[in-house]
Every structure is written in C-alpha cells, then in structure tokens.
C-alpha cells in the first residue's frame, strides 16, 4: 500500500485520541500526518509522555479552532506519591530529594480536607522540564543541558478537586481528581503539595479524562485512528458540540454567504457589542464562527473555516 501524498487533503475535523503512555503529543500529531497525508494537524493542549487520556487533535481547516479548544478547562485523575521529589516533578525524572512522610498523610479525612483546600486561584511556577519557551529556548532543553530557566509564576485556577483514595503500599500516594484552568501543571501541584505538607512529592500517574466538552467517551485508540488513514473522518467529533456555542442553522443562501465570511443580519437576542460567538452550521459541517457586530444588528465573521469542519 502506497503512503498518502503529504500536503493538503479534504480532511477537516476534530479527533479525540486516547493517548497511550510513552509518546509525546507531538509524536501523535506526526503519526497522524503520516497516516493521513494531511500536514495541517495540531493539538489543543499537550499531554506529557507518561500521561494518558484525552488529546484533542485538529485536522485541516479545523486547526483554526485551536484557540477556542485550547482555552477549555481540563479534568484529570492523578496519583501523587509522597516522600520523594524528582527533577521533572513526575516519575520519569531523577530523585533529587527524599524526606519522611508525616503519618497524617495516611488519614483519609485529613487528606480529603487538604485536597478540598486546594480549590481556587494560585500562582504556580511551571516545572523546570516543560515545553515553555523563553527567548526561543525550551525549558526542558535548557534543564537537560544543565542550565534550567528561571520560569515566572503563572496564574492558574483549580476549579474542582477531590480525594479518590489513598494507597499505602509501599509508598503513601493519594489518588485525586482535578479540574483545572488552561496552563495548569498537575506535576507542579504535586510538587507544591509535598512542600506544603512538610515532605516531598511527585506525580506518579496521570490520565486526562476530559478537555472542555470532549471526554473519554468521545475518544478513540491512536492505533485504530492511524490504521484508518484518510478514513479517520468517521471518528471526527461534532465541532458544534465540542465548542458548546449557540448554534444557528443556515438556509442554503446563508450558507453561501457564511462560506466567504460575508456579514449576516442578526435574528439572535444578544446584547450589542457582546463577545458571544455563534456556530454557523448545517447538518453536515460547521462553516464559521460569527459574533454580533457593534451595531447590534449585524453578525460578522470571527473565524471562517475553509470548506467547513465535518460534524
């Protein structure tokens, strides 16, 4: 079987991959480019190599939806192991500190209270080994070269957190569910939690269970999708549901105008100048995102998706 020609194809859609452990998010993108022949492929939120679960991949003109989908809150199930800190803040790194574990960390009531107390806004320093760049230099490359970057703290929010259980054989570990804002590192939460509790800690397992409105229920194994090649379109998620935007069905005349980004008269009840986006679609494809213009009567193109994104 010949390899598909690289370049542009007619593919345009959203894939939800259940990423396996041991490969990077970039590896997933590269495999899909190879299997489909489509170069315009990206993802909406990196997963570390050791992590598994929901990786939202955008194909073709759907890559124009990256900002909207990357900004979505993300949910995880994590295992935080106490007693040792690593240079990467997860189990992939080298142990750099070992400290005793307070006996209170084995108590479920205590642990549950600590996790509940994490809710809210925080300033978080990203891990030294991360994809963040400064002056074009990746933090993880600088750290591996022995010259770690001084990373500034970021404002993040822990929207939900709950203790799922405690494992005490042989190490003390907490299984925790988190829902967090864009840009939050669960590895850094584990690291900082260890410090706050008078010990050391690292992230020993992580599975992303949702990204915005897309979850494991929408996800497909990577090998199943790559084996399908250009037939992977049958696995595309509905972009209208994924975005969760107000939906306007189009008449044939409106569809022609939307495809070229022409303005439309508004029949929506929206406040003038608001930033609410509308998804313009028919039963088969999402063609564009529109927003109410400053006059309060005209819908103007925000994002036009060449050829539309398959629903």
Active-site amino acid positions: 48
Identify the three-state secondary structure at position 213: coil
Rounded Cα distance, 219 and 236, in Å: 10
Give the separation between CA 138 and CA 127, rounded to whole angstroms. 12
Instruction: Tell me which residue of 79, 88, 104, 67 sits closest to 302, measured CA to CA.
Output: 67
Closest by Cα among 56, 54, 76, 66 to 217 = 54
Any bridge partners for residue 310, and if so which?
285
SS (H, E, C) 135-189: CCEEHHHHHHCCCCCCCCCEEEEEEEEEEEEEECCCCCEEEEEEEECCCCCHHHH
Which residue, 133, 185, 190, 131, is CA-closest to 156?
185
Structural tokens at position 272: 């003038």
């Amino acid at each position: 079987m010949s390899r598909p020609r690289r370049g542009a194809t007619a593919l345009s859609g959203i894939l939800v991959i259940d990423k396996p452990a041991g490969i990077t998010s970039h590896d997933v993108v590269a495999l899909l480019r190879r299997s489909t022949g489509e170069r315009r492929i990206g993802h909406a939120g990196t997963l570390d190599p050791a992590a598994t679960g929901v990786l939202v991949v955008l194909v073709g003109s759907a890559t124009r939806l990256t900002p909207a989908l990357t900004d979505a809150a993300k949910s995880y199930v994590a295992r935080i192991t106490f007693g040792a800190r690593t240079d990467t803040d997860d189990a992939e790194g080298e142990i750099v500190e070992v400290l005793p574990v307070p006996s209170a960390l084995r108590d479920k009531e205590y642990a549950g209270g600590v996790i509940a107390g994490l809710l809210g806004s925080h300033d978080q320093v990203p891990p030294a080994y991360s994809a963040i760049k400064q002056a074009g230099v990746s933090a993880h490359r600088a750290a591996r070269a022995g010259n770690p970057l001084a990373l500034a703290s970021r404002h993040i929010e822990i929207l939900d957190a709950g203790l799922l259980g405690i494992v005490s054989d042989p190490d003390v570990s907490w299984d925790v569910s988190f829902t967090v804002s864009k840009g939050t590192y669960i590895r850094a939460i584990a690291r900082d939690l260890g410090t706050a509790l008078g010990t050391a800690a690292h992230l020993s397992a992580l599975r992303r269970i949702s990204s915005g409105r897309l979850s494991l229920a929408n996800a497909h194994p990577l090998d199943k999708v790559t084996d399908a090649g250009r037939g992977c379109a049958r696995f595309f998620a509905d972009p209208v549901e994924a975005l969760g935007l107000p939906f306007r069905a189009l008449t044939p005349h409106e569809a022609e105008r939307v495809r070229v980004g022409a303005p439309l008269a508004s029949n929506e009840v929206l406040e003038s100048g608001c930033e609410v986006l509308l998804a313009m679609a028919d039963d088969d494809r999402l063609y564009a995102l529109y927003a109410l213009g400053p006059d309060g009567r005209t819908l103007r193109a925000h994002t036009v998706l060449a050829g539309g994104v398959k629903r």
